[in-house]
Structure 1
Amino acid sequence: MGSNVVAHEAPGEHVPTPGSTERKPDRRIGLAVVGAGYWGPNLVRNAQQTAALRLHWLCDLDEQRSRKVLGEYSTVASTTSYEQVLADERVRAVAIATPAGAHHALARAALEAGKHVLVEKPITTTVAEAADLVALAEERGLVLMCDHTFCYTPVVRRIRELVHGGEIGDVQFFDSVRINLGLVQPDVDVLWDLAPHDLSILDFVLPPDVEPVGVSAQAADPIGAGRACVAYLTLHLSNGALAHCHVNWLSPTKVRTTLIGGSRRTLVWDDLNPQARLAIHDRGVDLTPPDELTDAIRHRALISYRVGDVVAPALVEQEALRNVMAEFAAAITEGRAPLTDGRAGLRVLRLLHAASRSLELGGATVPVDAGTGTADDTALLTRRLPAQQKAAAR
């Protein structure tokens, strides 16, 4: 008996004839990767392994390099023409992995063409350019995402949950060390090379009501490389706490640690210890506020030291960049801002510029919103800083 079931076509959807070899439309998000240098191949690999994405193009000025990345039998096309990529209606999104100086022009062209954009850090080289991209993306209703890769590691996601959930109490300090015997970069100093990692993590994990308001930086070039090879960065937070970052190209040993102290617990992240990357310490200093502080002896008597358990939570090892690609695709599909959106990239860039401005001023504390490289008057240097730190900035 023949079937009398009729396949109804949903509005805007084409249903293939039963028994035909006609393929259904590909609902994956068409993607192009721009840049086949150091980071581009990683984007290509992870895009191809993300079910929600369909990689169509790899664009680079060196087409031989692109073809080498793609391999002999890849179905992904290579091109040297960015205009060809943007003209392809299948491409809904672009991932940019080029030198930072090209980010603004490439991202702006993609946004103007109606494409969603994932861009490597730093988002641009200037605050004005980053603000321009953020405004354009929001005006067009497009996703602008910054690839702050460390924020998508399982350990940093867990740290964010613990801090935002209040498990560690009020944030009292943030201390990170990122040092190794690394490559002295030809175009940037150690601050711009390594600190973006720690600053993006800080921006990601801080509670919504706490933000950096002032930055001071010290740096040195002990080997005569022509750019800073060692740097120390101190950030004044809006709740009166301090964050500190140490970056160094000259250390014979590699260290990747971050401590986040809270009024209830302290988090210790050792990225080089895969067996226990994160430890939660129920240890710290408690202070019972007196009704009236009469003398130092009474004050000392009100301080107690808490010694509790140390817990190392189990964390599933995942490739962070795979999570970046998944978040990019999800943000596009769901029509929402990604976890590390353009505004996050802009905030990190403001911190970097404030740090550079501080170096120019001999380590003076610079307000974050003055860190554009153009403000240099005393009023700006002290505006928005906590009262107890203003004297040091004068």
Structure 2
Amino acid sequence: MAAKSPVRMAIVGYGYWGPNLVRNFGEAEHCQVVYCCDLDPARQQRAQRRHPWLRVTGRWEELLADKELDAVAIATPVHTHYELARQALEAGKHVLVEKPLTMRVDHAEELCELAQKKGLVLQVDHVFVYSPPVIKMKEIVDSGRLGKIYFIDSVRINLGLLQSDVNVVWDLAPHDLSIVDLLLGRMPRSLSAFGAVHANQHIEDVAYLNLDYGDGLIANFHVNWLSPVKVRQMIIGGSEQSLIYNDLESSEKVKVYNRGIQVGQDPEKRRQVLISYRSGDLWAPHIPNDEPLARMAAHFIQCIREGRTPLTDGQAGLRLVRILDAAQRSIKAQGGRVVL
């Protein structure tokens, strides 16, 4: 690909997420969406009707054989991610994969090694990492404003969309796990997870995860397909200040509270367990209203053109697959703690 040529893209999978990828990559600078690939004839017709300029096909091999095609974005069922990504990388294509990267740790490791060997960009669409509120949260945490992080509580619940190939942990937890991965920059030491099956005989639709990051920091995640109300909230408690992120707020999605406890520093007083409560101001930073998926698409194209490592590269995807795999094993062991 010439230095100033547009990146020629194919979108693979035109189901729930595929149309969003076609739109955002179609609007991205230095990008040209040339293919849409889906096995379903009805989806092919829908894609062709909506985007008459696209070359719509049901033949994946056609994309692999096109030497002028630079990259593919894979938005297919999770169990297909590994094989499609592997074949695309082998064919010399840069690859974007929807979350989670794969369903197995060894498969995620193999994709990371293959992308590195081939000198290709492998990026995972952890879309919330590219959202302005999360970028602002990262800025606040890195500034030290919150002090030492004590705990993280995250809730992502709603009614549906029930999946048929993965449980609620693999479907919803990657969003919040990827946010915490960005904020903390390290893996947990261990985890315990509980899940329950209601709507399907084999797939958990309600789950709770407890992650221990060491140094007194624990993080809890509640994911649920059966809740009558939709909640997307994360609370980060710090020694100095605390932060609440509510993705459903139309404005002021991030709020920083100068509230908490203060333990007396005098050794004599500490023996008396002297604790005071602090109640100060509330700060809601200005956050732009940019579309996260547009940022993610632009970042992928930029990384290809400039030879950069994506913010959510294969290694980021691998870290989450390790956590998800451990959570699944813990659920099957009735909450048994798994060391990572």
* TM-score, structure 2 normalization: 0.94
Confirm or deny: 8 A CA contact 1:153 1:320 kept in the other structure: yes
Q: Percent identity?
A: 46
* Distance in structure 2 (CA, Å) of the matches to 1:355 and 1:247: 12
1:292: how far off?
Answer: 6.9
Choose from 255, 259, 264 the match for 1:283.
259
Residues 207 and 222, structure 2, Cα contact 8 Å, conserved in 1: yes
User: Are 2:306 and 1:330 aligned?
Assistant: no
Q: Secondary structure at the match of 2:189?
A: strand
Candidates 240, 245, 253, aligned match of 2:229: 253
Q: Could you tell me how far apart the structure 1 residues matched to 2:181 and 2:5 are?
A: 34
Q: Could you tell me which amino acid in structure 2 is paired with residue 161 of structure 1? A: E
- Candidates 300, 310, 327, aligned match of 2:282: 310
Shift of 1:34: 0.9
Q: Distance in 2 between matches of 1:142 and 1:250?
A: 40
Report which structure shows greater RCO (CA 8 Å, sep ≥6). 2
Cα 1:223–1:332 change in 2 (3 A) is closer
Give the superposition deviation at 1:313: 1.1
Contact preservation (8 Å) 2:133, 2:253: yes
Q: For 1:161 and 1:26, locate their aligned partners in 2 and report how far apart those are by CA, in whole Å.
A: 32
Amino acid at match of 1:252: P
Q: Over alpha carbons, which structure has the higher Rg?
A: 1
CA displacement at 1:175 relative to structure 2: 0.6
Q: CA deviation at 1:150?
A: 1.1
> Residue 231 of structure 1 aligns to which amino acid in structure 2?
A
Specify the alignment match of 2:32 in structure 1: 54
Gaps of 5+ in 2: none
**Distance in 1 between the 2:334 and 2:262 partners?**
36
Asked if 1 retains the 8 angstrom alpha-carbon contact of 2:187 and 2:319, the reply is no
CA separation of 1:236 and 1:293: change in aligned 2, threshold 3 A: farther
Matched, 1:349 2:321: yes
Q: Deviations over 1:365-388 (max 9, x none)?
A: 1012xxxxxxxxxxxxxxxxxxxx
Structural mapping, 1:1-394, within 5 Å: 27-71=5-49, 74-206=52-184, 208=185, 210-222=186-198, 225-291=201-267, 295=271, 298=272, 300-301=273-274, 303-368=275-340
Distance apart, 1:294 and its partner CA: 7.8
Residue 198 (structure 1) shift: 1.3
Residue 293 of structure 2 aligns to a residue whose secondary structure is: helix
Deviation at 1:188, TM superposition (A): 2.2
Deviation at 1:364, TM superposition (A): 1.6
C-alpha distance in 2 between matches for 1:357 and 1:221: 15
Q: Name the aligned partner's letter for residue 285 of structure 1.
A: I
Q: Higher mean Cα deviation, 183-192 or 355-364? A: 183-192
Instruction: Output the CA distance in 1 between the equivalents of 2:296 and 2:253.
Output: 20
Instruction: Verify the 8 A CA contact 1:211 1:238 in the aligned structure 2.
Output: no
Q: Which has the higher strand share?
A: 2
Q: CA deviation at 1:323?
A: 0.7
Q: How far, CA to CA, are the matches of 2:192 and 2:42 in structure 1?
A: 45
Contact preservation (8 Å) 2:13, 2:74: yes
Compared CA separation, residues 158 and 28, structure 1 to 2 (3 A): same
CA shift for structure 1 position 185: 2.3
Contact 2:77 2:165 in 1 (8 A): no
Query: Gaps (5+ residues) in structure 1?
Result: 1-11, 14-24, 369-394
- Aligned pair count reads 340
Which residue of the partner structure matches residue 7 of structure 1?
none
RMSD over aligned Cα atoms: 2.0
Q: Is contact 1:63-1:78 (8 Å) kept?
A: no
TM-score (norm 1): 0.82
Deviation track 1:86-140 (CA, whole Å, cap 9, x = no partner) reads: 2222211111111111111111111111111100011011000000000111111
Deviations 1:69-91 (A, max 9, x none): 24266222111222221222221
The CA deviation at 1:222 is 4.7
Superposition misfits of 4+ residues, deviation over 6 angstroms: none
1:220-267 CA-to-partner distances (Å, cap 9, x unmatched) read: 235665432211110000333100001112211111110111222111
Q: What's the CA shift string for 1:131-181, capped at 9, x where partnerless? A: 000011111111100000111111011111111232222211111011112
Render the CA deviation track for 1:175-220: whole Å, top value 9, x for unaligned.
10111122332222222221111111111221x3x43111101122
